[in-house]
Amino acid sequence: MQESVTFTVKDQRLFGMLERPTSHAERGVIFLGGWAGTRVGPHQIFVKLTRQLSARGIASLRFDFRGRGDSEGETGSAELGTMLKDVIAAVQWMVQRTQVTKLTLLGICSGSQVAMGACQAHPAIDSLILWSTPSVPEAVGQRGSARRRRLFVLREYAGKLFRTQTWRKLFTLRLRPKTIGRVIWSESPPPTATGVEQHCLDQFRQFEGRTLFVHGTNDPETKPALAQYLPICEQRGTPHQVHLVRGANHSFYSVAWEEEVLRVSMEWLQEA
């Protein structure tokens, strides 16, 4: 049964939907949308999963972060830090309201980052489902990042060698070798993790519960994210599973991809 609910963070109301099975639910799932997302999720994927969960005796909460969806707060004021505080408030609210003893945080994109950040917020949280989690820049490595950038620039210049315009510039002395050299060899600073991103990563490093990673093979974030998060799970020996949706993009924009994500997530939850 679906019920419209509100809870408050810093005097601002957050709007959500609580879905509960007819009998008492031991497990609850909190859905966390992406940066610009809502409690419905891309192509209503959250709504579809909450209905499946309810049919299998699991309660769920979908809500809008402050400044997003229907919730109060300025659109421009929302950031990863406010999202994290909202998740922690949602966890407390959900446990108090539904009396669930086991809780799963399920996030997509930025929502999965804050799921990591809030994984220690309550002892009931025993599992994370992370869809298309982005990597945190700092941990990718400065040297690796600079090398990748340099290779990209070299490939771009190699491509230009086949253009007549390039040769015309060369013969008319309009090419600027110094500028090209600077572009290739410069060590532009790679992006670094914000304090909140680093905090989320640190919290995840201490998490002892189960984690399911679901990524699309056509999402450019998949490789760096798995390269970053899997060693953390392996080092700690925490149970984890990776599922790659073949051909899928970041938000799983097809019925077939969506069905696969729902099936894998549902099966994994039921194993718990």
The token pair that represents 101 in the structure block: 């003893």
Does residue 17 touch another protein according to CB under 8 A? yes
| DSSP letter, residue 43 | G
From 98-106, 129-137, 160-168, 240-248, span contacting another protein (CB under 8 A): 240-248
Three-class SS of residue 202? helix
Residues within window 135-174 making contact with another protein, judged by CB under 8 A: none
Is residue 48 within a helix (H) or strand (E), and if so which, with residue range?
Answer: helix 45-55
Judged by CB under 8 A, the residue of 101, 154, 253, 267 near another protein is: 253
Q: Is the dihedral of CA 243, 256, 248, 87 positive or negative?
A: negative
Judged by CB under 8 A, the residue of 217, 231, 234, 239 near another protein is: 217
Rounded CA gap, 123 and 101, in Å?
9
Q: Supply the minimum distance, in Å, between the C-beta of residue 117 and another protein.
A: 20
Does residue 221 touch another protein according to CB under 8 A? no
Nearest to another protein of 120, 249 (CB atom): 249
Judged by CB under 8 A, the residue of 82, 222, 228, 251 near another protein is: 251
User: Could you tell me how many residues of this chain bind another protein (CB under 8 A)?
Assistant: 35
The token pair that represents 125 in the structure block: 């949280």
Does residue 86 touch another protein according to CB under 8 A? no
Nearest to another protein of 43, 85 (CB atom): 43
Q: Supply the minimum distance, in Å, between the C-beta of residue 217 and another protein.
A: 8
Does residue 66 touch another protein according to CB under 8 A? no
184 burial (CB, 10 Å; 0-12 / 13-18 / 19+) is middle
From 32-40, 99-107, 166-174, 222-230, span contacting another protein (CB under 8 A): 32-40
Nearest to another protein of 151, 256 (CB atom): 256
Rounded CA gap, 182 and 77, in Å?
38
| Buried/exposed 89-101: b ≥16 CB within 10 Å, e otherwise | bbbebbbebbebe
The token pair that represents 95 in the structure block: 């446990």
Rounded CA gap, 34 and 163, in Å?
41
Q: For helices 222-236 and 195-205, what crossing angle results, to 10°?
A: 40
Rounded CA gap, 67 and 37, in Å?
11
Judged by CB under 8 A, the residue of 8, 44, 92, 270 near another protein is: 44
Judged by CB under 8 A, the residue of 18, 257, 268, 269 near another protein is: 257
Contacts with another protein by CB under 8 A lie at 2, 4, 17, 35-40, 42-45, 47, 68-70, 75-76, 217-218, 245-249, 251-258, 260
